Structure 1
Amino acid sequence: MPTFYYDESNNHRKLWIDPGKRGYNIDGDMNRKIPVGRNFVLGGVVHYGASSSADVSALIASLRLQEDLEEVKFKHIASGDFGSCLKSAKVESLLEWVLASDLYVHFFNVNLEYWAFLDIVDDCVMWCHGNGIPVAVHSIHDIVLLKDALYRVIRIDREAFLDMACAFGYPNIEDRTAEFVRALASRVDTVMSSPKHSEQMQEVGLEDALARLLHLLNSCREIDDMTLAQMDEDGVLLDAFDIFYDYTSTARATEELVMDMEVKVKEQFESRAGMPVPANLRFADSKDEPLVQVSDLTTGLIARYFQFVDDHDHSQLGEWMETLSRQQSINLSLLRDVFDKSHEKDHTLLHRLVSAGELEKSDLILYPEHFHSQN
């Protein structure tokens, strides 16, 4: 039986739209050196069999950390955004150690902003199909592309989109679903036609993608049911992160899970009536579990990777890759090898709930030769 070790990155406890910021509650912390991540990562390392032969003490020795540390954290080996982290020789030591060991990385990465609004598309598609309204949605792939288009609308002018969402108390829109969808259609139309966004609209395929989204929304101008998107509190997109822990423990129901002791998460599991903590799940103090400490290191790097991908467009990433130092190139190649090693062992170890555009940009960074051959 495999044993999965977990740590987390960017557990904000709760996510809501803050009208005063024209953004989210997690935005704008002046005490942070880099912007807070809008992605949540739950992941770490896994070994197959009763135990691992990986020598964590050898890893820690290679990192040359101060001797009085009670436990190693990602902040001890790198800091800043993903590009800055790749400059660290300690990151190279970590990735080489993982590659040489019998360990594999695993992660569940969620783009929280994408996740918070994707149900709008599902509700619209289901309503059209249920009411016999023809829309050009014939496959899961079509739905994925519509969700990606919606996410691009959000990203092109986040403040305007969130102003609109706040005006309706999204996601508490039960009695105003049709009005909300009409307003969203108007927002898409504005993005497509406004000179303010003409530069972004030059992106290959974007106009067609937004046109398909606009057609779907216009087909739903009388929609009276948005069950998936609807929630009961104005502005609150996510009232707790335990849903992601639930998903993980359910998906790995036949495997042993060791999670870093997060008191609030443990309390959420224990407080659910008739739903005890799964028997295969154990919360542990990371000081007593060296592989949970290693999971902090891998998850910290992976979280910064996904945030970096989301924060930059294709051209920005292409330009960035042309400026990589030797150390950055080495570490980027090692990260790709670590991902490949894990994917070859079990493709379900690497799980991403992100937009189609982010998947493309991930390929651009890690597999540029494959990306350019497909584009």
Structure 2
Amino acid sequence: MDINELRETIIQHNGLQNTDEVYTFYYDETNNIRKLYLKDSGFNVNKADNFILAGILHKGLSTDSDYSTLFQMLNLQKSAHELKLKHIAKGGFLDMLKSDKILIILNWLIENKFYIHYFNLNITYWSIIDIVDSIISESRNPFYSINHMLLKSDFYELANSNSDIFLKALHDFNYPDVPEEKAHEFCLWLIDFTCMHNCVLSDFRASALEKLVKESLKIKELPFISGFHGRELIDSFMVFYLRNLYIFKNSTHIFDEEKSIQDEVKKFSLTENGMPIQNYEFVKSHNSEAVQLSDVIAGFLGKYFSYIKDVNDEQLQLDKAGLTSKQSMTLSALKHIIDVSDDVSRGFFNVVSSEGEQRRNNRFLHGVKL
């Protein structure tokens, strides 16, 4: 795949700055379930936490930062052969905010001019929004196109709050490959489900979503929910590893070893003007302090985005008001390094999640009122 046309489209559409600069990215991941598919009892996994691919980065191809000083400050047990999140903090996100060692790491990164990057994927949201996108794309109604994020978020909220019923129906309809002969029945079920459960939304948003799903009966086909492998929602996370490789094509990208991903990425040829791009490598984490730090950052952010996904607005405000001074200091350090990183390039961050999650993130981390 030649990267330039796709790359420029993404950069211009999202207003990404400084993407031609040279950086060195380090990566690790958390909540990589490998595959997601439907069973008659729901998903094949017990808990569908957000997939996070994240880590640290610095400008240029090298840094003179002294990792050994940081590791001494962390006072790790001698039995720890390499740095892992479990050595730094445990429990849920609010518990992790109490960790002295998390704060030490964040402050060291800030002082040494490191930045952070992340890709945050709500796998449930990603798996079901094609239903809404199919209707919007075929209805050609400007109102739906303009408000697509709100409509998809509201649909996700209904599905997520009634997940047993919703996922069982998707399984029965062989989603995401709904047979043509069942398409009308699927649309009728979709309308019934939405009308039955949209009481959790405001009247205006409930009405808008109801009108949208009723549009499905006027459409000849739903393009994004046919022609796939039935009941297979995600067959690999490989595509998400590629984005930074072509957005930041002049940079070096260093990943923690992941055999299945390595093989897939190697098979997927990225080219520029006909020449292959080889701007990445996979390394053993115990040989790279920066990858080990990325393990901590990815795990910490994984806990954060899982918290943001699951908490309701009322509890969020109570939690924010109840933070101790230590928790507030750690949260402030996290906000600071994200803000500094965003000032360098908004391209360091990529999010696929509901409008509700993004709104709660803005409230909790950035102080934007709900």
TM-score after normalising by structure 2 = 0.88
Structure 1 residue aligned with 2:7? none
The answer as to 2:182 corresponding to 1:186 is no
What SS does structure 1 have at the residue aligned with 2:61? coil
> Would you say how many aligned residue pairs link Structure 1 and Structure 2?
345
Q: Which runs of 5+ in 2 are unaligned?
A: 1-21
Maintained 8 Å contact 1:54/1:103: no
Q: Which residue of 1 aligns with 2:138?
A: 127
Give the corresponding residue for 1:31: none
CA distance in structure 1 between the partners assigned to 2:89 and 2:241 by the alignment: 27
Identity among equivalent positions (%) equals 28
1:56: which partner in 2? Answer: 67
Q: Which moved more, 1:288-297 or 1:221-230?
A: 221-230
Q: Could you tell me which amino acid in structure 1 is paired with residue 157 of structure 2?
A: R
Residue pair 1:45, 1:103 contacting (<8 A) in 2 also: yes
Cα deviation digits, residues 39-81 of structure 1 (max 9, x gap): 1111111111231232211111111111242210111101121
Q: How far does residue 162 in structure 1 lie from its aligned partner after superposition?
A: 1.1
Distance 1:269 1:70, change over 3 A: same
Which residue type is aligned with residue 170 of structure 1? Y
Partner of 1:42: 53
Q: 1:144 to 1:312 in 2, by over 3 A?
A: same
Q: How does 1:1-375 map to 2 (within 5 A)?
A: 1-20=22-41, 23-27=42-46, 36=47, 38-129=49-140, 134=141, 136-139=143-146, 142-175=147-180, 176-192=182-198, 200-201=200-201, 206-230=202-226, 232-272=228-268, 278-368=277-367, 370-371=368-369, 375=370
**CA deviation profile, 1:67-125 (whole Å, cap 9, x unmatched):** 24221011110112111111111111111111111210011111111111111122111
Amino acid of the structure 1 residue aligned with 2:355? A
Supply the distance in 2 between the matched residues of 1:180 and 1:83 (Cα, whole angstroms).
41
Q: Once the 2 structures are TM-superposed, how far is the Cα of residue 236 of structure 1 from its aligned partner?
A: 1.4
Query: Could you tell which deviates more after superposition, 156-165 or 228-237?
Result: 228-237
Name the amino acid aligned to 1:290: E
The 10-residue stretch of structure 1 (277-286 or 340-349) with the greater mean CA deviation from structure 2: 277-286
Does the aligned pair in 2 maintain the 1:15–1:239 contact within 8 Å? yes
Q: Aligned residue for 1:196?
A: none
SS in 2 for 1:339: helix
Q: Which residue of 2 aligns with 1:30?
A: none
Look up the match of 1:197. Answer: none
User: Structure 1: which amino acid aligns with 2:43?
Assistant: Y
Give the deviation of 1:182 after TM superposition: 2.2
Cα 1:7–1:278 shift into 2, 3 Å: farther
CA distance in 1, matches of 2:256, 2:295: 9
Query: Is the partner of 2:226 in helix, strand or coil?
Result: coil
CA deviation after TM superposition for structure 1 residue 329, in Å: 1.5
Letter in 1 for 2:33: H
Structure 1's unaligned 5+ residue stretches are 28-35, 194-199
SS in 1 for 2:242: helix
Distance in 2, Cα, partners of 1:249 & 1:273: 11
- Partner SS state of residue 228, structure 1: helix
Does the 8 A contact of 2:25 with 2:252 survive in 1? yes
Instruction: Call closer, same or farther: CA 1:261–1:222 in 2, change over 3 Å.
Output: same
Q: Deviations over 1:134-192 (max 9, x none)?
A: 563252xx111111111111122111211221221111114133322221111010003
1:119 partner amino acid: D
- Structure 1 residues 277 and 82: alpha-carbon distance in aligned structure 2, compared to 1, 3 A threshold: farther
Residue type at the aligned position of 1:225 = E
Task: For residues 287-315 of structure 1, give each alpha carbon's deviation from its aligned partner in whole angstroms, at most 9, with x where no partner exists.
Answer: 11111111111111111111100010110
Kept after mapping to 1: 8 A contact 2:158/2:198 = no
- Cα drift, residue 238 of structure 1: 0.3
Moved more, 166-175 or 220-229: 220-229
* 1:78–1:91 contact (8 Å) kept in structure 2: yes
CA-CA distance at 1:269 after TM superposition = 2.2
State the SS of the aligned residue for 1:294: helix
Partners of 2:277 and 2:49 lie apart in 1 by 28
Instruction: Indicate conservation of the 8 Å contact 1:151/1:355, yes or no.
Output: yes
- Is residue 48–residue 123 contact of structure 2 (8 Å, CA) maintained in 1? no
The separation in 2 between residues aligned to 1:230 and 1:75, in whole angstroms, is 42
How far has the Cα of 1:277 moved from its partner? 8.4
Distance 1:152 1:113, change over 3 A: same
Matched to 2:122, the amino acid is: N
Q: TM-score, with normalisation over the residues of structure 1?
A: 0.87
Shift of 1:211: 1.7
8 Å contact kept, 1:111–1:353: yes
Cα drift, residue 231 of structure 1: 5.0
Equivalent AA in structure 2 for residue 137 of structure 1: Y
Aligned to 1:59, the other structure's residue is in SS state: helix
Q: CA deviation at 1:215?
A: 0.6
Moved more, 178-187 or 89-98: 178-187
One-letter amino acid of the counterpart of residue 9, structure 1: T
- CA distance in 2 between partners of 1:209 and 1:39 (Å): 25
Q: Using the alignment, how far apart are the partners of 1:332 and 1:273 within structure 2?
A: 40
Q: Structure 1 residues 52-61 or 100-109, which shifts more? A: 52-61
